[in-house]
Amino acid sequence: MNRPTIAAFIVLAGLVTASSAYADDPLPSWNDGAAKKSILQFIARVTQEGSPEFVPPAERIAVFDNDGTLWAEQPMPFQMFFAFDRVKAMAPQHPEWKTQEPFASLLKGDVKAALAGGERAVGQLLMATHAGMTSDEFQKSVTDWIATAKHPQTGQLLTEMVYQPMVELLTFLRSHLFKTYIVSGGGIEFIRPWSERVYGIPPEQVIGSSIKTKFELRDAKPVLVRMPDINFVDDGPGKPVGIQMHVGRRPIAAFGNSDGDLQMLQWTAAGSGARFCLYVHHTDPVREWAYDRNSSISRLDKGLDEAKAKGWTIVDMKADWKRVFAFEK
């Protein structure tokens, strides 16, 4: 074998390493600074053979919040857009919605009035659109919708509203044999149909909130029916519970952007050996959005204080990211 052949063989064998695939920079959308440096140093500490803090590949678990950490979440979590569009699509089969809130307002195009009912209204919209069908049917409805759904302000596909620096980070971690998980307050079955294509994260590495499902034989055909009952809320103190349920090991790295991720970061940080916790801080009102302590969506208040006190990495999106979205010039 000559040298080029051997090189090709190594790549084919999946043994892509930082030195071969990222000859220049594994994180090109990150500006050089403390955040980027802390990431590179942590990965080196836990993956270099002979390092006193070396972690075997099987234990390299990294967990990522989704909304606001891997993709945008303004003006509201994108799963709500799915619910709205499904209400419109399902309306012909539900004539009663014409006079029944929150559906009536939504069908008239008044989102604000529809959401005036708060959590109860959101719950009704979610259950009406996420329950009552089989798991296969729901998966198809998400797959079809996400293929064309666009952001109301940027006009970009929602799947283009992902943070390019975080996609690079996911890839970089996996090239160092980390297993990357999503741990989202959003619906587990809402994320799975597109997480592999968009993030390289397969369905079995998605953890999220869920409703109950029930096995049934329909005309001798087995189906899983989605029921209008909450099964699990994967947010705040639920995140470590969800991680333990699905992974059964404590992560060594955790990434979030709100107080709802704080317990996940605390749980990760409290393990023995090298640990890495990072908060994405939304500080860029021009390229993205700026919000933290007073936001109604994904408030980052206690988490920001704890991150500072404990020396966790805080990403200043404006300063630390060369590029936020891949579609930027």
Interaction pattern, residues 128-167, with a copy of itself; x per rule: CB under 8 A: -------x--------------------------------
229: tokens are 């009952």
Phi, psi of 162 (to 5 degrees): -90, 150
Among 122, 127, 133, 241, binds a copy of itself (CB under 8 A): 241
Q: Does 309 bind a copy of itself (CB under 8 A)?
A: no
**Cβ(72)–Cβ(161) below 8 Å:** yes
DSSP 164: H
Q: Does 9 bind a copy of itself (CB under 8 A)?
A: yes
Residues β-bridged to residue 163: 325
Q: Does 200 bind a copy of itself (CB under 8 A)?
A: no
Applying CB under 8 A, the span of 7-15, 84-92, 144-152, 277-285 interacting with a copy of itself comes to: 7-15
Nearer to a copy of itself, 214 or 287 (CB): 214
Nearer to a copy of itself, 261 or 320 (CB): 261
Applying CB under 8 A, the span of 70-78, 86-94, 241-249, 311-319 interacting with a copy of itself comes to: 241-249
Among 52, 112, 248, 294, binds a copy of itself (CB under 8 A): 248
Q: Does 94 bind a copy of itself (CB under 8 A)?
A: no
**Cβ(247)–Cβ(281) below 8 Å:** no
Cβ neighbours of residue 289 closer than 8 Å, sequence gap 6 or more: 72, 74, 282
**Cβ(212)–Cβ(191) below 8 Å:** no
Among 221, 286, 294, 309, binds a copy of itself (CB under 8 A): 221
Length of the chain: 329
169: tokens are 């980070």
Applying CB under 8 A, the span of 200-208, 251-259, 278-286, 321-329 interacting with a copy of itself comes to: 200-208
**Cβ(38)–Cβ(184) below 8 Å:** no
The 3-class secondary structure across 179-216, one letter per residue, is EEEEEEEEEHHHHHHHHHHHHCCCHHHEEEEEEEEEEE
Interaction pattern, residues 39-78, with a copy of itself; x per rule: CB under 8 A: -------------------x--------------------
At 320, which helix (H) or strand (E)? helix 317-320
In whole angstroms, the minimum distance from the beta carbon of 229 to a copy of itself comes to 13
Among 26, 77, 238, 256, binds a copy of itself (CB under 8 A): 238
Among 4, 95, 118, 222, binds a copy of itself (CB under 8 A): 222
In whole angstroms, the minimum distance from the beta carbon of 56 to a copy of itself comes to 11
**Cβ(178)–Cβ(152) below 8 Å:** no
Spatial CA neighbour of 62 closest among 207, 198, 214, 213 = 207
Q: Does 110 bind a copy of itself (CB under 8 A)?
A: no
Euclidean distance between CA atoms 259 and 292, whole angstroms:
10
Concatenated DSSP letters of 108-134: TT-HHHHGGGHHHHHHHHHHHHHSSSB
Pairing relationship of beta strands 290-291 and 276-283 according to DSSP bridges: antiparallel
Nearer to a copy of itself, 259 or 320 (CB): 259
Q: Does 204 bind a copy of itself (CB under 8 A)?
A: yes
Binding stretches for a copy of itself (CB under 8 A): 1, 6, 9-10, 13-15, 58, 135, 179, 188-189, 192, 196, 202-204, 206, 210, 213-215, 217, 221-222, 224, 237-238, 240-241, 244-249, 263, 266-267, 270
